[in-house]
Amino acid sequence: MKSTVIKEPSMVQQKEMISDHFQKLSEAPERGQKVVYTFVPGNLTELMLGFGTLPVHPEINALQSGMRKLSGDYIGAAERVGHSEDVCTYVKCDIGMLLDGNVGPTGKKLPDPDLLLLSYTGCFTFMKWFELLRERYDCPVAMLHVPYQADGEATEEMIAYVTKQLETEVIPKLEEVTGVAYDRERVREHLERSRIAEDDLVAVLEAAKHRPSPIDAYFGGVYYIGPMFTAFRGTEAAGAYYRQLRSEVDARVAAGQGPITPEGLLDEERFRIVVEGPPNWTHFREFWKMFYDEGAVVVASTYTKVGGVYDRGFRHDPDRPLETLAEYCLGCYTNLNLPTRVDMIADYVRDYAADGFLINSIKSCNSFSAGQLVMLRQIEDATGIPGGFIETDLVDPRYFSASNVKNRLESYFQMLQQRGSGLEAESA
Amino acid sequence: MGVAPIIDRCHALLEDLDLACVSEWKAAGEGRRAVGFLPVYIPRELIHAAGALPVGILGAGEELEIVRGDACFQSYICHLPRSVVELGLRGKLDALDGVLFPSTCDVIRNLSGIWKMMFPDKEAIYFDVPQNLDPKVGGVFYRDMLAEIVTRLQRLVGRDVSEDDLRGSIAAYNTSRRLVRELYDLRAAEPWRVPTSETYLLLRAGMRLPVEEHNEMLTHYLAEVRDEDRALRDNARIVVTGTFCEQPSLSLVRTLEHAGCYVVDDDLMLVTRWYGPDIPTEGDPLEAIAGAWIDADDETPCRYVADGKRKGQQLVDSVQRCGAEGVIFAAPSFCDPALLDRPMLQAVLDEEGIAYTSFKYSENTAQLQPIREQAGTFADTIKLWSDA
Ligand code: SF4
Ligand code: SF4
C-alpha cells in the first residue's frame, strides 16, 4: 500500500535550515554571536532575533538524543550523579548530555549559553531545569514568570505583568549580554514575518479537515510541520519554508493524496484520530508505524500547540510587539487549564470529523499528564466517542513497551471499527 | 494538666477526615462559609477577613483507601492529588464552599482544573504566586491578584471585606506566626521536651481550627510543655527537608524519632511557618501582604531563587541556627519540585561538610521499617562521628 520514500522540497529545505543552524551554533563563539538557551513553549524568538542571538532549546536537544538512541545513557548518567528516577526525563537527558560534553546532533559541541532565558510557560519543571543549568554555567538568567490561564483567559493584569517583565527583566538582560539596544522596529519586522508564516502554518494544519487528510498532524506534525516554528519563526527562511509546505499540501489535497510517512504515501485512510500528549521519541518511527500500518492518520494533535495555538486564532501582532509576545506566552497549550484543553480536543474531534481520540500519557511529565484520565472521560462525554489511553515516556526507553502499546492501539482501532467508525465500517 | 489533652484534641482533629469540626463551626453561626486550600502557601488572612474558615486540604494520609482517586491519575504521580480527589468524591470535603489552589507545582495547578470539572458547584480559585520579586512588577501583579481573590471571596460569603477586616486578620496571623516561631525555637533548644510528633500535630490542628482558637491552643501548649518531665536522650539533631507539600504520616514522623533523631527544624506545614517578619497592620493591607511575600527570602522548591549563590543557603542557615548535625531529605515520591531541588541542595551541604541522607515517602507509606533503619543508621553514624 505504501510506495517508496518520498522527499519533498520542503523536507530538503528543513534539513538544510537545521544543519545550517547547528553549523552557526558551533561557530558562534568564534564569531562572537551570543547564544541564548530557552524553552519551546512561550519562546521569544522574534525578540531574540532582534538582538541577533542564536537560540538553543534544551528540550529539542533531549528529543533529538531520544531519536538518536542516546537518551537512555544520558538519563543513566544523570541518575548516577544523584538525580531521582522519578523526575522529568527531559531534564535528566539534558543534564546527561551536558555531562557527556554537550555534543549536539551534528556531532559538534554546542556552545555554552551567554544567557539562560527562563520563560517558564506551562511547566514548573522549566524553573528547576534552569536552576540546575545555572549551577554549571557562569552566565546570567532572565526569568519570565508567565501566569497560568486558570480561568480560561489571559486577563489584562496577566498581560501587563508579562509585558512589564519583558521590559524590566528580559530586554535589559538581552541588552547587557549582546551589547545591542532594543530596536522595536527590528522586532516588529520579525513579528510581521511570523504573522504571515502563521497563516501558512494554520492552512497546513487545517488541510487535515480534508478526507483523506494530506498530513499527519502528530507524527508528521512534529517531524515536518512544527520544528521550523521554534528557532526560525520570524526569519525569511521560515516564511519561505511554510509557503513551500503549504503549496505541497495543497497539491496533495488536489490529488486526493494522504500523508507522507517514512515509508511513502499512505494511500488508505482508515481511521481519523486526534491525539493529546507528546510523542515518544526513543521509538518514534516504530510508534508512528503502529498508526500507519493500521491506516490511522492523526488529523489534529495538541502537542503541536505547545509552541502556540495559531489554529485557534492567535497571530503575533507586529504593532504591539511586547504585548503580543506576552499574549503568545500566556496562550501556549500547556498554559491552558484542563477544561479549556478538554474543549479544544472535543472541538478537534468534531471539526476534523475524527473517529477517535487517543491520549499518550507521558510518565514523567506532570504538566501534560496530571489529570489526563479525567480529561478522557470529559471528552468522551462531550463527543460521545470512546477514547484510548496509553502510557509511554518522552525520552526514557525503559518506559516504552512496544508490545504493550501495539496491543492497546490495535484493540482501540478494532473497537472503533466495531462501533462503526473508520473507512471500512463506513463502506460496509 | 499537662499537654496530653491538647495533643489528644489535635489527634482527633487529624483523624477528622469528614471535616466534622468544620461543619460544626459553620453550624454555630448564620451563613458561615469554609474555604479550603492546598499546600504550600496561601495568605489565609484573606479568607479569615471574609469571615470564612480557612481549612488546609492535606490529603488523606494513611487513613483512607484510595479507590476512585486512583482512576483519575496516571501511575507516576505523587499521592496527594489522588487522595484529595478521593476525599472530594466521597463527600468528605462537602463542608467546604470553595478551594484555593496555589501555584505550587504542575500537579496542584492541574488539580485546579480537575476540581472545576468534577465539582463545578464549588468555587475554585487559582492563586498564582509571583516568581518575579520586583515590587513594581511581581508586587503589583500580586496585589491585583489578592484584590481579585477578595472580590471572589466577597461573592462567596455575600458581604464586603473592609480594610479593617484585613488588618484584623493580619494581626491574628502575625500572632500565629509568632507562636509557631516560639514553638520551633523551643523545640530547637530542647528537642527532648518538644517532640516533633507533637509540633506536627499542633500545626496540623491549625489547618482545621479558627486561628484565634489555634493561637490559644499554642499558647496553652507552650505554657504546659515547659513543665513536662521528659528524658533527654542521646539522639542526633536533624533538619528534615522536602516535606513542604504532601505530608508524611504521623507514624513516619514518629519513626524518625524512634530511630534516634531529634528533628530540630523541618519544612512540614509550611503555610503556618512563614519565616518573614510580621506583616504591617498599617497602610494598604493587600500591599502589606504582597510586600511581605516579596521581601521574605523564604526558600522552598516551588519558589525561584533569583540569586544562584543563595540557593541552599537557607538550609545551611537552619542547620547552623538549630545546631543540627545532619539533614534528612524526605521527599514525596514523584515530586518534581523536591526531587529536582535535592541535588542542588546536597551540593551545597557537601561544600559545607554537612552530613545528609535521603529517602522518599508517600502520605500512606506503610512500610516504615526501611526508613527506620536508614534514619537509625544515619543518626548512629552522626553520633559516632560527633563523639569521636
Ligand atoms: S515536565 Fe513535561 S512539559 Fe515540563 S519540562 Fe518535563 S517534559 Fe517538558
Ligand atoms: S507533593 Fe510535590 S508534586 Fe505532589 S503536589 Fe506537592 S509539590 Fe506537587
pLDDT bin (cut points 50, 70, 90) of residue A428 is: very low
Give me the pLDDT at residue B1, please.
77
What does the domain layout of chain A look like in residue ranges?
9-428
Q: Write out chain A residues lying below 8 Å of B344, CB-based.
A: 131-132, 135
- Tell me, using a 6 A CB cutoff, whether residue A368 lines ligand 1: yes
- Tell me, using a 6 A CB cutoff, whether residue A130 lines ligand 1: no
A160-214 pLDDT per residue, tens: 999 999 999 999 999 999 999 999 999 999 999 999 999 999 999 999 999 999 9
Q: Which ligand is nearest to the CA of A122?
A: 1
Give yes or no for A26 touching B (CB within 8 A): no
CA distances from A133 to A37, A99, B308 (A): 10, 11, 10
- What value does the mean pLDDT take over residues A69-98? 97
Name the residue among B112, B117, B339 with its Cβ closest to that of A84: B339
Do B137 and A161 lie within an 8 Å CB cutoff?
Answer: yes
Q: Write out chain B residues lying below 8 Å of A369, CB-based.
A: 74, 76-77
Give yes or no for B90 touching A (CB within 8 A): no
Element (H, E) at A29: helix A9-31
A305-361 pLDDT per residue, tens: 999 999 999 999 999 999 999 999 999 999 999 999 999 999 999 999 999 999 999
Q: What is the Å distance from ligand 1's center to A89 Cα?
A: 8
Do B130 and A145 lie within an 8 Å CB cutoff?
Answer: yes
| Distance linking the first and last C-alpha atoms of chain A | 20
CA distance B161 to chain A (A): 22
Name the residue among B141, B337, B344 with its Cβ closest to that of A132: B344
- What value does the mean pLDDT take over residues A293-302? 98
pLDDT at A61 exceeding the cut of 50: yes
Give yes or no for B232 touching A (CB within 8 A): no
**Helices A58-67 & A89-99 angle (0-180, nearest 10):** 80
Q: Write out chain A residues lying below 8 Å of B106, CB-based.
A: 123-125, 366-367, 370
Give yes or no for A391 touching B (CB within 8 A): yes
Cβ-based neighbour number of residue B263 at 10 Å: 27
Query: Which residue has the CA at smallest separation from atom 3 of ligand 2?
Result: B335
Give me the pLDDT at residue A3, please.
59
- In degrees rounded to 5, what are phi and psi of residue A116? -100, 110
CB proximity under 8 Å: B 305-324 to A: 305-306, 308, 311
Q: Write out chain A residues lying below 8 Å of B305, CB-based.
A: 131
A117: its cell numbers: 532565558
CA distances from A168 to A4, A173, A304, A325, B27 (A): 54, 9, 31, 15, 50
Beta bridge partners of A117: A38, A142
Strand stretches in chain B, DSSP E: 34-37, 53-56, 98-102, 123-127, 236-241, 261-266, 326-332, 355-361
Give me the pLDDT at residue A2, please.
54
Do A342 and B117 lie within an 8 Å CB cutoff?
Answer: yes
* CA B13/CA B208 separation, integer angstroms: 7
Exposure b/e, A391-418, CB count within 10 A at least 16 = b: bbbbbbbebbeeeebbebbeebbeebbe
**Residue ranges in chain B modelled with pLDDT below 50:** none
Give yes or no for B154 touching A (CB within 8 A): no
* CA A157/CA B245 separation, integer angstroms: 28
The minimum-distance atom of ligand 2 relative to the CA of B302 is: 7
Name the residue among B76, B101, B331 with its Cβ closest to that of A364: B76
Q: What angle do CA A119, A107, A45 make, to 5 degrees?
A: 25
Q: Pocket around ligand 2: residues whose beta carbon is below 6 Å from it?
A: B 78, 80, 104-105, 107-108, 245-246, 332, 335-338
Q: Write out chain A residues lying below 8 Å of B112, CB-based.
A: 150, 337
pLDDT at A229 exceeding the cut of 80: no
> Is the torsion defined by CA of B313, B286, A329, A75 positive or negative?
positive
Give me the pLDDT at residue A306, please.
93
- In degrees rounded to 5, what are phi and psi of residue B330? -115, 105
Three-class DSSP category at A24? helix
pLDDT at A425 exceeding the cut of 60: no
